[in-house]
Amino acid sequence: MNFRFFLPVEIFFGKGKIKELSQQIKKTPILIVSDPVLKKIGIVDQVKEAIDKQCDIFDFCQVEPNPSCSTVNKGTQYAKEINAKTIIGLGGGSAIDTAKAISCLIDTSDTLQDHLFEGKSIEKRTKRLIAIPTTSGTGSEVTNVGVYTDKERGQKKPLVSEYFWPDQAFLDPKMTFTMPAKVTASTSLDAFTHAIEAYWADSSQPLSKLMSMKAMKSIIENLEKAVKDPENYEVREKLLYASLLAGISFAQTRTTILHALSFPLTNEYGLEHGFACALALPNLIVENYNYMKESMDVLIKYLDLKSVEQLSQKMHQIMKTIHAPTTLSELGVQEADIEKLANTTLSAPIASLNPKKYTKIELIKFLNKIY
């Protein structure tokens, strides 16, 4: 056995944990980074109420799905204007990723594009960074990655930095009750792909494998229930815990070709991140099996299934039940676009961590199977 495991995030998990937030805020002003929906439905105010009344609290609630460089730069400008000392990312992965970038860029005169495209590296973070997820999927609260879209370049790219680990993550299952069924479906599939990709990645390791297995089992058992019964606390708690485990796992290993394929599917076809990650999942499970039979057999047995075909069918059935797309044609992808899709997918460095090493021709053949 030979591995490294690193997690510098203090995790608070449980019902009402948000009430302990105040004790962790040492410096103000505070900037809450969130999205317009959470502002409108009162979640931003709920967090403000959980913070000591003496604190100066501001909010920047303009984060969109697949956060853009311009939104990050605008949020950074605002954070500078109010001289923010604590940055709270409140929401799904988009809000937390935006908070990560703002908390670092505030100390510089850089734009996010300088780091994403010009090779500049982030050298420090002096502000406290706190993450409060309101979805059960991205795991961004326990990773050092942010994913951003540059609309001018038409590119979506991950940025990794040792300064992107939040100082604290507050996971309160009650905060996830506001997720509409479609968001629950998509974000849970995102978490499932984090778990299975962490499990089969070339970079996988024993501790993350353990957590991935638990996450996958829990998502299989609870996903359909959460979509049908969104206010079931026990189910929401299990999914948030599964998302946390999957997040910790892939933070150690990174993801593989499912996430590489998701970038053009979200960027060019507007598909939700989790749905985009899972689209090829049932077929990829079968193709990857041949490259890691022993390890996959352990997983299949742990999931109380009998064969890789059963695992693949199970995921396909769940995806159908929760109305997740399972073919490229459903998204409006044209057959003529498949070669470009293969090129973009293979250009993402994470694609090479997949157990089956796809050549361009093999990937085109695979994508035609899910057309």
Minimal distance in Å, beta carbon 82 to Fe ion?
31
Minimal distance in Å, beta carbon 138 to Fe ion?
6
One-letter amino acid for residue 61 of the chain: C
| Residue number, 92 or 173, with CB nearest to Fe ion | 92
Minimal distance in Å, beta carbon 190 to Fe ion?
4
| Residue number, 167 or 190, with CB nearest to Fe ion | 190
Minimal distance in Å, beta carbon 164 to Fe ion?
15
Q: State which of positions 100-139 bind Fe ion (CB under 5 A).
A: none
Q: Please enumerate in sequence order all residues whose Cβ is within 8 A of that of 88, keeping only pairs 6 or more positions apart, or say none.
A: 30, 31, 32, 33, 47, 99, 130, 131, 132
Minimal distance in Å, beta carbon 194 to Fe ion?
6
Size of the site for Fe ion (CB under 5 A): 1
Minimal distance in Å, beta carbon 170 to Fe ion?
20
Q: Which residue is nearest to Fe ion (CB)?
A: 190
| Residue number, 17 or 156, with CB nearest to Fe ion | 156
| Residue number, 85 or 282, with CB nearest to Fe ion | 282
Tokens 């849970």 belong to which residue? 188
Q: State which of positions 179-198 bind Fe ion (CB under 5 A).
A: 190
For residues 144 to 183, the per-residue mask of contacts with Fe ion, x marking binding by CB under 5 A and - elsewhere, is: ----------------------------------------
| Residue number, 28 or 288, with CB nearest to Fe ion | 288
| Residue number, 172 or 190, with CB nearest to Fe ion | 190
Binding stretches for Fe ion (CB under 5 A): 190
